Amino acid sequence: MGKVMIIGAGGVATATAHQLVKVPEVFEEVLIASRTKEKCDNIVKKINKGNFHTAQIDAMQVDELVSLIRDFKPDMVMNLALPYQNLAIMEACLKTGVSYLDTASYESPDNPHLYYIEQWSYFDKFKEAGITGILGCGFDPGVTGVFTAYAAKHYFDEIHYLDIVDCNAGDHGKYFATNFNAEINIREISSPGIYYKEGKWIETKPLEIHRTIAYPEIGERESYLLFHEELESLVKHYPTIKQARFWMTFSERYLTVLEVLQGLGLTSIKPINYQGMEIVPLQFIKAILPDPAALGENYKGKVSIGVQLKGIYQGKERSYYIWSNLDHEKAYKETGTQAVAYSTGVPAMVGALMYMKDIWRKPGVYNVEQFDPDPFLEAMPKYGIDWQEAIDIPLPIDKAEQQ
């Protein structure tokens, strides 16, 4: 049917590549291009298929991207590198008339804020060029938006309260490690918490608000309120929402180490001069931490990510919880990566599949909740991620609020 080009060769790209290979009739040729070509070669070596190719690219350079895209002629570019590269890759897609997909909103290297505004501003240009931009097609953002769209389509006339709950109850056996790119992860967690209430964005100190939330098949875990970019797109696309929050669990060890790193100034993104060389402390920390793509081998335990919603259906109050549970060992067996990379890489592949099959294809730039959720949620279990739902039950987030 066609060709896709993946940019990036980390944990997420590895998981996606292992899924693309399952649908050779759709993904006839795949090019994996990244800053370090050796990492692309390692992925392809494991997959061992002749229709996968590799290339070296600096995805901050629009000209380099344009010439590689012109050379390979993909139907879609899947940006599985870092949020810093989003605008350069979108610009290159525009110049070459090729559709685009990513898994995280743009972030400027010197300003750790995740906002969609810059990517949304490409809407008219993508529309004129007749190309589709699919934004935030991992798990969160990604499936959380698809879950919300599914709830809105089938179960609610109006959604009023939205809580995204993300629990990693796994143990990788390392002293300290992040589950995806350490620089992006630590920037996210060290930023102020922000949530939406009655038309306003309310800022808290980092990790200031926390609740003990119960997760299916896992039990209670301390969960911390963070800002996450899908809150911005979901309150825009579902204007009846009165409150929207995002919760994530962290172990005590993780939080203690993070506090020490912060206390020492080692999470700073301001460059310092060290023996005549300019270094960014957080980039140095990333360099010495375990590679998230390589955490899978001894990772045990489960991940649970879902959306808890309250609102109105046919004049009555309604509550609804929709979630997926993933298993680190199963993810590793299948793709050689842990469940967090897997939970991002599989939805990215399903999003590309929706595009290639003409199901999610419309000129412009869209968040995932703006497409039909049904075919996506029908396909996702075939590629390893099942989901479950419960209607009109007491929500775990409400129980946590009452404690």
Binding site residues, ligand NDP, CB under 6 A: 7-13, 34-36, 39, 57-60, 80-83, 85, 103-104, 138-142, 180-181, 184, 292-293, 340-341, 344
DSSP secondary-structure letter at 154?
H
Task: Give me the residue whose beta carbon is nearest to ligand NDP.
Answer: 10
CB 334 to ligand NDP: min, Å: 16
The whole-angstrom separation of Cα 160 and Cα 387 is 23
With contact defined as beta carbons under 8 Å apart, do 77 and 51 qualify? no
Cβ atoms within 10 A of the Cβ of 288, count? Answer: 7
Structure token pair of residue 278: 């300019």
Burial class (CB in 10 A: 0-12, 13-18, 19+), 253: exposed
CB 136 to ligand NDP: min, Å: 6
Taking the least distance from each CB to ligand NDP, the nearer of 129 and 225 is: 225
CB 205 to ligand NDP: min, Å: 23
CB 67 to ligand NDP: min, Å: 14
Burial profile 382-392: b = 16 or more Cβ within 10 angstroms, e = fewer: ebbbebebeee
Taking the least distance from each CB to ligand NDP, the nearer of 143 and 356 is: 143
CB 393 to ligand NDP: min, Å: 25
CB 178 to ligand NDP: min, Å: 8
With contact defined as beta carbons under 8 Å apart, do 401 and 165 qualify? no
Torsion of CA 398, 232, 251, 179, to 10 degrees: 140
- Rg of the chain (C-alpha set): 20
Structure token pair of residue 37: 């070509």
CB 363 to ligand NDP: min, Å: 24
The whole-angstrom separation of Cα 382 and Cα 42 is 26
The whole-angstrom separation of Cα 328 and Cα 296 is 7
CB 177 to ligand NDP: min, Å: 12
Distances (CA, A) of 292 to 114, 148, 256, 325, 344: 21, 28, 19, 20, 13
The whole-angstrom separation of Cα 195 and Cα 202 is 5
The whole-angstrom separation of Cα 152 and Cα 159 is 7
Taking the least distance from each CB to ligand NDP, the nearer of 101 and 151 is: 101
Taking the least distance from each CB to ligand NDP, the nearer of 129 and 326 is: 326
Distances (CA, A) of 387 to 20, 118, 377: 21, 32, 8
Tokens 């929706």: give the residue.
354
CB 107 to ligand NDP: min, Å: 8
Taking the least distance from each CB to ligand NDP, the nearer of 9 and 167 is: 9
The whole-angstrom separation of Cα 64 and Cα 92 is 9
With contact defined as beta carbons under 8 Å apart, do 137 and 107 qualify? no
Taking the least distance from each CB to ligand NDP, the nearer of 267 and 319 is: 267
CB 12 to ligand NDP: min, Å: 3
Distances (CA, A) of 163 to 147, 159, 241: 12, 11, 11
